[in-house]
């Protein structure tokens, strides 16, 4: 079973930057897109960004376009999220997970959510 471990979160001032990492281990779960979701307090978990493992095509939620950059390292089984010009509304727990393209949700049968990494942006 795949395991995902997120890291790189922290406390940063508005306008600052953070780089999140996602380490994937275990068997290949067979999904084409790896992505990032976030969940703010009292809100649902939402799609942030995704990248195709093969081909490298990237996808972004409108709220982060132009500020966040997603990437992956296939040999290392790693995905990254570079977050620049952070805003208070980016404060959330960030999770990596496979993404269903066009639906921009995690697969309903995906159960291997990691613990996430907390990002807090002070204004």
Which helix (DSSP H) or strand (DSSP E) does residue 20 occupy? strand 18-25
> What's the CA gap between 32 and 37, in Å, rounded?
16
- The answer to whether 116 and 22 have CB atoms below 8 angstroms apart is no
pLDDT band at 2 (very low <50, low <70, confident <90, very high): confident
Residue range 54-73: mean pLDDT, rounded: 96
d(CA 119, CA 123): 13
Which pLDDT score is estimated for 3?
Answer: 87
The predicted pLDDT at position 31 comes to: 80
Beta strands in 40-116 (DSSP E): 45-52, 58-60, 68-73, 78-83, 92-99
CA–CA gap between residue 77 and residue 22 (Å, rounded): 8
pLDDT tens by residue, 8-61: 999 999 999 999 999 988 755 578 899 999 999 999 999 999 999 889 999 999
Report the C-alpha gap between 83 and 122 in whole angstroms.
15
């Amino acid at each position: 079973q795949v395991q995902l471990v997120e890291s790189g979160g922290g406390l940063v001032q508005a306008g600052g930057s953070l780089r999140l990492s996602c380490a994937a281990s275990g068997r290949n779960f067979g999904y084409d897109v790896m992505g990032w979701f976030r969940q703010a307090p009292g809100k649902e978990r939402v799609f942030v960004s995704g990248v195709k493992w093969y081909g490298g095509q990237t996808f972004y939620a409108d709220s982060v376009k132009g500020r966040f950059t997603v990437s992956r390292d296939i040999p290392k089984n790693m995905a990254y999220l570079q977050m620049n010009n952070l805003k208070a509304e980016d404060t959330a727990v960030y999770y990596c997970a496979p993404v269903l393209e066009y639906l921009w949700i995690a697969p309903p049968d995906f159960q291997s959510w990691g613990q996430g990494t907390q990002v807090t942006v002070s204004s």
